[in-house]
Chains A and B, each alone.
Chain A
Amino acid sequence: MRKKAREFELYVAGVCVVLGVLLVAQFRTQEYIGRAQIPSRRLEDLSDMLRRSDAERELLEKEVDALRKQLAAVGEGERAAEAVRLELEKARMGAGLVAVEGPGVTVVLDDSKRQAEPGESPEVFLVHDEDILKIVNELFAAGAEAISINGQRVIATTEVRCAGPVISVNNVRIGPPYEITAIGDPTTLDNALRMRDGILDTLRTWGIEAKVQKVTTVRVPAYKGSLYFQYAKPVLEGAQK
């Protein structure tokens, strides 16, 4: 009897070991699931918020439309000169024809100091046009209002293109180190660049030196090139098909 009792305890104990492992693993899995899911309550709140802001946006768009019409009407009236001057100022700001200053970040990029090992392409250790484009893109996405690259203001027609050993921006050749200056919310801009697996992480993999600095006042110069439209002609409002 005693021996038999031992035997059954042994077998039950064996299954208990399996049970213990399963229990802990399952707890862990459930905890993981719980953490990964967004509570449905929150989801509802968010979709409601989205719907409301969509409606709001529609209203605002209508308002913009009305205001534009009003502005056009005013332009024909006696305050035409003033309205035109204001509009012109805004347009010049938007086009990047005015030097601006404000809080922002500066990014300094330099080629990697690392020597390429045999079999490695030395190309990957250089700063490419793509890298700069990605940073500029990221900065604009994070709400940057004005950006310049080595003193070249980025405007609507600015190209960032590989030109042999240097990079061409606004048809001006620039070489390393590249300094990108952006005006916007410094924290947001800084975070956008430092995002995990973001642009800085990628560049650092290749040893490219990238220094980001938040600054309280930074100057972004005006676009200095010429504006010449050979092919594009403005479409008069109301004349669209």
Chain B
Amino acid sequence: MLPILGLLIGIVIALFTPVRFPTVYSDYMAVGILAALDSVCGGIRAGLEDRFDRVVFVSGFIVNMALAASLTLVGDKLGVDLFLGATVAFSIRIFTNVGIIRRHLLHARPRRTSGGSRDVTA
């Protein structure tokens, strides 16, 4: 619940403030968004698997974003669309993590109501 609330708060904040990035940095923002989305998915997955570590989470978020941004910058200078690499990598990770989260949630619900241990096979 809390993450969705956070997302809504973020959207509302942005809607009421006229934030707009210079068009030149559009690629950077796109990659940044993917990095944030990836972190969110990774964090939820880790939380569901009960091995959430805030240091790993926060550092991962920041380092991933910085890496993606610098990759885009280098790509810009070289004339190669390197940010596509970051895009693909993040997209794959998001898909994987969402898949795992989905399985966790699907199996967690009956387990929580019955309380018994079920065979968890994905």
A28 to chain B: closest residue by CB: B20
> Which one of A8-16, A138-146, A149-157, A208-216 is at the interface?
A8-16
> Is there an interface contact between B6 and A12, defined as CB atoms closer than 8 Å?
yes
> Is there an interface contact between B8 and A26, defined as CB atoms closer than 8 Å?
no
Looking at the assembled complex, report how far the CB atom of B53 sits from the nearest CB atom of chain A, in whole angstroms. 9
List residues of chain A with CB within 8 A of the CB of B26.
Answer: 26, 29-30, 33
Q: With the chains together, A156 CA to B18 CA distance in Å?
A: 53
> Is there an interface contact between A22 and B36, defined as CB atoms closer than 8 Å?
yes
> Is there an interface contact between A9 and B3, defined as CB atoms closer than 8 Å?
yes
Is A7's CB within 8 Å of the partner chain B? yes
> Is there an interface contact between B58 and A19, defined as CB atoms closer than 8 Å?
no
> Is there an interface contact between A12 and B13, defined as CB atoms closer than 8 Å?
no
> Is there an interface contact between B13 and A20, defined as CB atoms closer than 8 Å?
yes
- Tell me whether chain B's interface is mostly helix, strand or loop, or mixed: helix
Is A46's CB within 8 Å of the partner chain B? no
* B residues contacting the other copy or chain, number (CB 8 A): 38
A25 to chain B: closest residue by CB: B19
> Is there an interface contact between B19 and A11, defined as CB atoms closer than 8 Å?
no
Q: With the chains together, A36 CA to B46 CA distance in Å?
A: 42
Which of the listed residues A9, A33, A36 has the most CB atoms from chain B within 10 Å of its own CB?
Answer: A9
List residues of chain B with CB within 8 A of the CB of A7.
Answer: 52, 54
> Is there an interface contact between B2 and A32, defined as CB atoms closer than 8 Å?
no
Is A4's CB within 8 Å of the partner chain B? yes
Is B11's CB within 8 Å of the partner chain A? yes
- Provided the pairs A20-B14, A29-B20 are in contact, do residues A9 and B2 lie with their beta carbons within 8 angstroms? yes
> Which one of B37-45, B67-75, B77-85 is at the interface?
B37-45
Q: With the chains together, A30 CA to B30 CA distance in Å?
A: 10
> Is there an interface contact between A4 and B2, defined as CB atoms closer than 8 Å?
no
Q: Which of A11, A16, A18, A33 contacts B57 (CB 8 A)?
A: A11
Looking at the assembled complex, report how far the CB atom of B62 sits from the nearest CB atom of chain A, in whole angstroms. 10
Q: Mark A21-41, 1 if CB is under 8 A from B, else 0.
A: 111111011101100100000
- 13 new A-B contacts, CB < 8 A, other than A14-B6, A24-B15, A29-B26, are A9-B3, A12-B43, A16-B10, A16-B40, A18-B10, A18-B36, A19-B7, A19-B10, A19-B37, A23-B10, A25-B29, A26-B29, A30-B26
Q: What are 27 A-B contacts with C-beta separation under 8 Å? A: A8-B52, A8-B54, A10-B2, A12-B2, A15-B39, A15-B40, A15-B43, A15-B57, A16-B3, A17-B6, A17-B9, A18-B36, A19-B33, A20-B7, A20-B8, A21-B11, A22-B10, A22-B32, A22-B36, A23-B10, A24-B14, A24-B19, A26-B21, A26-B33, A29-B26, A32-B23, A33-B23
